Structure 1
Amino acid sequence: MTITLETPFSVLPDLIALHAKTRGSHPALIQDGQQLDYAALNSKVDQVAAALQRDGFQAGDSIAICGSNSIPYALLYIGALRAGMVVAPLAPSSTPEGLVTMIKDSAAKLVFVDQAVDQALGKTAEQHQIKLMSMDDSCTENAFSQWLADATPTPVTITPEMPFNIIYSSGTTGDPKGIVQSHGMRWSHIQRGIVFGYGPECVTLISTPLYSNTTLVSFLPSLGLGGTVALMAKFDAAKYLKLAEQLSVTHTMLVPVQYQRIMAREDFDQYDLSSFHMKFSTSAPFHAELKADILKRWPGGLIEFYGMTEGGGSCMLAAHQFPDKLATVGKPLENHDMRVIDEDGVELPAGEIGEVVGHSPAMMTGYLNKPEKTAEAEWYDAEGKRFIRTGDVGRFDEEGFLTLMDRRKDMIISGGFNIYPSDLEQELRKHPDLQEVTVIGVQSRSWGETPVGYAVLRPGANTDAQAICEWFNERVGKTQRLNRLILTDELPRSAIGKVLKRELRDQFQAQYGELD
């Protein structure tokens, strides 16, 4: 079987089996000196699926996985899919209570964890009668290697509408929402990979977590199309560059803050990165200046994706082809319909600012067990076509390129004026002593809300917050001036690099309360 853009449907476990037959000795997974070829990968996946079936699991049942990137993590993921099961990959950074909530919501009857998660979750899981299995063999009582079955699983027929995974949109605070994604949706990601050069000779370096949709967008086409995946348990810029050179990496998915840290290394230009064919980014704002630096100094193409885990339409910017559009996130992908609507749900023309909504063949089925949340996330046009609301504010230009302003919830309304933090961040970033910046809105008795900046100084910088704030306020309009600037050692970020503005707002409120 040769995978083409016209291939109607296939599933990752079947593709793994195909590669095992046709090129079994080709490396599939690499991590820290350990390597599995496709024959070994397929055999281990069989063992996982057979063990799950032996333990009474059936197609449609779910397991949860929570831990750092590892080869056993990948085996469990693919093995569960081969058994027709659904995978709920969970963020290790979640609180024990948050993990329990997600485990129960996903109906996972078995949870695979590494040593760090086991130590954090163990007592809480025991209180809730949740069974944990050690996927790194750190607990000999429930060790992954001993649990595997030496058998061939019973074949399961998988159809496009069957659920592939449940990815949770939250887990540190707030109410986590399980996003159900189908095998049909994931097949579209594998199939689309052909266009970007994924294939039998690709080597993909992955340093973002496997519980993230960001990672799966690269992980799935790499293995589905017969390439090699190198896993990093934790991102480190120096180690990343060494591995990229050593393994002759061709593809990678990195979030913007990772690109920033790589490009900031003084020894960056000493590494041979000529093997790179395509680099990808998504999940957080990707500034035009950083894109330009990557295009100048890092071989291969650069593609930015903008979209949601919910799958409601995606944009793509091939930065190497449109260097004059680096401030945008590109145009909607083929068969992706994206529009902008106002507060009343009325569609707006090009050039007008509003909330971005999207429709695509890869939309989520819905939020698991939360029909009301699903309804809140939907918008229908006059013909009844279903769209997913992104919560992002942006505008399309006359050529169809989308410029994002901010999240709706992050927009600051000060004295009746709409202030977009991204505009202020763009200007603040021009200060030569600042390495990272963000702007939030905080409560103000006089203005309703007022902007406050947070910043990280560059190494060796010699300045203070007041001087930077005065510099900034001289350069912007009166309504955009910062009430104050706060210097910090680092900005709080999620595992995929998003600045956690809610944490900063809560932190500011607790320390300063409401401003005048």
Structure 2
Amino acid sequence: CTAFTLTGAAHSYLPVFSPSKSLELIEQYNITVTMMAPTMIIMCLSDGSFGKYDTSRMRMMLYGSSPMAAEWVQKSIEGFQGTEIVQGYGLTETSPILTFLDWEDHKGAIETGKTEILRAAGRPVVGLSMRITDDNGDEVPLGEAGEVTVKGPQVSMGYLNRPEENAKSFRNGWFHTGDVGRMDEEGIMYLLDRKKDMIVSGGENIYTSEVEAALYQHPDVQECAVIGVPDKTFGEALFAVIVTSPGSTLTQTEAINHCRDRIGGFKIPRQMDFVKEMPKSAMGKILKNELRRIYGSITD
């Protein structure tokens, strides 16, 4: 937002997100750049008012907080014609962008059908140093999972008057994000999970983003979130909360069968709830803490 302000751009904000109102403002103010969470984009594309408003002035749509399923990336490209779709990953402490998955990546993935890259957070921005480290702060081998740690001019020096949190997050010049990721041989970072969201079931580490990506490949899944719930046998079990597309009759059995050819059997949620809407933050991010509060007492 600061960069746009410095170049003389005007801003338009909504106090509460509404897909129809967002589309209306895009037309009314000739919006050229917008930033949304994937859930917001999906809601716009699924809203009955989509197509009613002129969005042809749009040039860039930046999304973040999570990857977007290939199906919805394609629908975004088709629905917002002439708009470049890009993804950014970052945190408040990093001002905020750390990595960027650009338009060529998105367009190429859809054109070639090689959509794996759409699960990536992207490449580190210029001037940023990024490492994937183990619990001791040592860099892990390429391709292995670990905590995303960064340093650079855009990274905060620390929290004000919070010495314990500073000691935990800011160590030896590196900021420890609390996110789990891996880096491939091309320098592209794949975000796997928040450390606190990772599920340990029967001694296996399960990254919820992988399970959610499999569920999102079903055309009737509009939104989903996977959490861990107590399990007497395995310690934790996977529980999926799903919002289906309007008119869908998707069942739990169908969702489970859909996952069988996409992920290992131990990663498939055996418990699910189909809901009309998810609890979300003001930025449109699904609140897993709230889901854990709602479903945390469920045991298998």
The TM-score normalised by the length of structure 1 is: 0.53
Does structure 2 conserve the Cα–Cα contact (< 8 Å) formed by 1:350 and 1:396? Answer: yes
Report the counterpart of residue 260 of structure 1 in structure 2.
42
Instruction: Tell me what 2:182 maps to.
Output: 395
- Name the structure 2 match of 1:203: none
Residue 305 of structure 1: how far off its partner (Å): 1.2
CA distance in 1, matches of 2:243, 2:103: 27
Instruction: Say whether residues 1:222 and 2:9 are aligned partners.
Output: no
Match of 2:86 among 303, 306, 313: 303
Distance (Å, rounded) in 1 between the aligned partners of 2:189 and 2:141: 12
Letter in 1 for 2:185: E
Q: Distance in 2 between matches of 1:456 and 1:258?
A: 13
Q: Which runs of 4+ in 1 moved over 6 A?
A: none
Q: What code does the residue aligned with 1:479 have?
A: F
Aligned residues: 289
CA RMSD of aligned residues (A): 2.1
Counterpart for residue 153 of structure 2 = 361
Match of 1:489 in 2: 276
Residues 320/242 of structure 1: CA separation in 2 closer, same or farther (3 Å cut): farther
Alignment of 1:150-229 (within 5 A): 218=1, 220-229=2-11
Aligned-pair CA distance for 1:369:
1.4
In structure 2, the CA distance between the partners of 1:430 and 1:412, relative to structure 1 (3 Å rule), is same
Q: Distance in 1 between matches of 2:258 and 2:230?
A: 21
1:331, distance to aligned residue in structure 2 (A): 0.5
- What is the aligned counterpart of 1:332 among 124, 138, 142? 124
Provide the C-alpha distance between the structure 2 equivalents of 1:354 and 1:327, rounded to a whole number of angstroms: 17
Shift of 1:440: 0.6
Q: Secondary structure at the match of 2:132?
A: strand
Deviation at 1:266, TM superposition (A): 4.6
1:361, CA displacement in angstroms? 0.6
TM-score (norm 2): 0.88
Distance 1:285-1:450 versus aligned 2 partners, 3 A rule: same
Letter in 2 for 1:471: N
Q: Is the 8 A contact 1:469 1:484 kept in 2?
A: no
- Which structure is richer in relative contact order (CA contacts within 8 A, separation 6 or more)? 2
User: Superposition pairs for residues 98-137 of structure 1, below 5 Å?
Assistant: none
Match of 2:98 among 302, 305, 314: 314
Q: Percent identity?
A: 34
1:440 paired to 2:227: yes
Q: Which stretch shifts more, 291-300 or 233-242?
A: 291-300
Q: Secondary structure at the match of 1:348?
A: coil
Point out the more displaced range, 293-302 or 359-368: 293-302
| Unmatched runs of 5 consecutive residues or more in structure 1 | 1-217, 381-385
Checking the alignment, whether the CA contact within 8 Å between 1:352 and 1:395 is kept in structure 2 is yes
Aligned twin of 2:113: none
Q: Secondary structure at the match of 1:233?
A: coil
Q: 2:217 aligns with which of 406, 430, 436?
A: 430
Aligned pair in 2 of structure 1 residues 433, 301: CA closer, same or farther (>3 Å)? closer
Q: Which amino acid aligns with 1:477?
A: G
Secondary structure in 1 aligned to 2:5?
Answer: helix
Distance 2:61 2:10 in 1: 15
